[in-house]
Chain A
Amino acid sequence: MNIPSELHYTSDHEWARQTAEGVQVGITAFAAEQLGAVVFVELPKVGDRIAAGGAFGQVESTKSVSDLYAPLSGKVVAVNAALESAPEQVNDDPYGAGWMITLAPDDANAVAGLLDADAYRALIG
């Protein structure tokens, strides 16, 4: 299972990546595999405020629909609009082209409080 060591994770199977623009967020390869082929991704708008642990969107596969949970609190500064027409990117490249939103976090150090790759790997066993 692909769990990049430089990323941080939540127990809800989101990943977070510190970038120059903010904290980029997506779902893990494990989550994408559990969902099966993703057919719709519902994301917030740029400017929306989201709270850590709150649902910021939904991801829908043939089998099921699941909420997306925010790994930290902040303002949405970018949204991956390409997922509207190419939701399969979530399966094909969950840590790259399948990214979902970028947040300007309220607490600049919040990412460090998330799970690291080893802890996430232990979680999904």
Chain B
Amino acid sequence: MSDATPLQRTPLYDAHVALGGQMVPFAGFEMPVQYKREGGGLEAEHRATRTAVGLFDVSHMGEIVVEGPDAIAEVDGLVSNDVRALGDGEACYALLCHPHGGVVDDLFVYRLSAERVLIVVNASNIQKDFEHLRAHARQPERIVNRSADFAQVAVQGPQAKALLALVAPGAALEAPRNRISLHGFAGHDVLVATTGYTGEAGYELYCPPSAAPALWQALLEAGAPLGVAAVGLGARDTLRLEASYALYGHELRDDIDPFEARVGWAVKLEGRSFVGSEALVARKAAGPTRRLCGLQMQDRGIARADYPVLHGGEVVGHVTSGTHSPTLGLPIAMALLPAALAKLGTEVDVDLRGRTRRAVVVKLPFYSRG
């Protein structure tokens, strides 16, 4: 991000500042990394999401809408998962791939109707994805970047359902995961999706930017007796890392394919043709040469993103993400390693700023709600 590009603010900027949000640049937006106040901070926000309910402003995410009589077939030809299998109000996780099979972005595809598909993409990739989609679409003009028309608030945690029942009574809160439905809130249309990025049950709410401050405030107020906390990007990252969800730019990149990143389950090749599918058929048949692994440190210290991983004294891979897990009280990391080393129990070394520390390959995810 060059200094010449002004940072964007979400409609909840003032709400973050009022809550003591420590605002930092992220993907071109000014976002709260944590809230500095009594009872706030990364660890407290993380714990609130695991034990009660967390509120996340994720309005920086991108929304791309595809409309028209052939919208389903169009999107199906662009993403890795089987969009034709979705019914109205159903969603799936998918990858956007290059013709060579590397990952352009990971995203969620929501089928709103037979003629309207919502694609939610990472903030850092909005323009890249939009250009990629248009470049490969049969009818590029029906792919529209609607990011400015949506704010997004995630409500995640064991009390998420109880909270939404207070703020959005009548919404389809019992729906299984990966559903989306329309609900009215204070005269605005809000899309309520049973999706999330924390490893907890919860919702992602898509609303017009003008409705976001009132929705946020209503959630905070109604959630107070439930232990609600506003949660910044810091805890969003520790939560997703415990749940071992990929973050684009770390576990997923242009030069990493879905099989290497262990999201091959979202690649449906049979009877389908989409951008990258030919390369992915070949890559799947050959088997990945690298695999994403969980690492547990045997020595003290945190293996962080981009630290080299060594085996037999040679650099064999790198850490993609690492942190200290607030839930487990341990350092956790994911690393991209040669397939031959990607076996549970394999011992490797991580170069922690010039000091070699022992780590062992462990099962992913680090956390799942039992």
Contact with B along A9-51 (1 / 0, CB 8 A): 0000000000000000000000000001101101000000000
- Distance (whole angstroms) from the CB of B1 to the closest CB of chain A: 20
**Main secondary structure on B side of the interface with A:** mixed
- Assembled-state Cα–Cα distance A36/B232 (Å): 14
The number of chain A residues with a CB under 8 A from chain B is 12
- Assembled-state Cα–Cα distance A118/B146 (Å): 53
Q: Does A73 contact B (CB under 8 A)?
A: no
> Cβ of B43 and Cβ of A62 under 8 Å apart?
yes
- B301 contacts across to A, CB distance below 8 A: 40, 42, 60
- B42 contacts across to A, CB distance below 8 A: 36-37, 62-63
> Cβ of B234 and Cβ of A62 under 8 Å apart?
yes
- A42 contacts across to B, CB distance below 8 A: 300-301
Contact with B along A59-81 (1 / 0, CB 8 A): 01111010000000000000000
- A84 contacts across to B, CB distance below 8 A: 300
> Cβ of A62 and Cβ of B238 under 8 Å apart?
yes
- Assembled-state Cα–Cα distance A84/B301 (Å): 11
> Cβ of A40 and Cβ of B300 under 8 Å apart?
yes
Interface centre among A36, A58, A84 (most CB of B within 10 A): A36
> Cβ of A65 and Cβ of B41 under 8 Å apart?
no
- A58 contacts across to B, CB distance below 8 A: 353
> Cβ of B41 and Cβ of A36 under 8 Å apart?
yes
> Cβ of B234 and Cβ of A63 under 8 Å apart?
yes
Contact with A along B69-111 (1 / 0, CB 8 A): 0000000000000000000000000000000000000000000
- A39 contacts across to B, CB distance below 8 A: 302, 324, 331
- B302 contacts across to A, CB distance below 8 A: 39-40, 60, 65
List residues of B (289-318) whose CB comes within 8 Å of A's CBs.
300-302, 304
- B331 contacts across to A, CB distance below 8 A: 39-40
Q: What are 29 A-to-B residue pairs whose CB atoms are below 8 Å? A: A36-B34, A36-B41, A36-B43, A36-B234, A37-B41, A37-B42, A37-B324, A39-B302, A39-B324, A39-B331, A40-B300, A40-B301, A40-B302, A40-B331, A42-B300, A42-B301, A60-B301, A60-B302, A60-B324, A61-B324, A62-B42, A62-B234, A62-B238, A62-B323, A62-B324, A62-B326, A63-B33, A63-B234, A65-B353
B contacts, CB < 8 Å to A = 33-34, 41-43, 234, 238, 300-302, 304, 323-324, 326, 331, 353
Instruction: Kindly list 19 other residue pairs between chains A and B, CB separation below 8 angstroms, not including A62-B238, A65-B353.
Output: A36-B41, A36-B42, A36-B234, A37-B41, A37-B324, A37-B326, A39-B302, A40-B324, A40-B331, A60-B301, A60-B302, A60-B324, A62-B42, A62-B43, A62-B234, A62-B324, A63-B33, A63-B234, A65-B302
A contacts, CB < 8 Å to B = 36-37, 39-40, 42, 58, 60-63, 65, 84
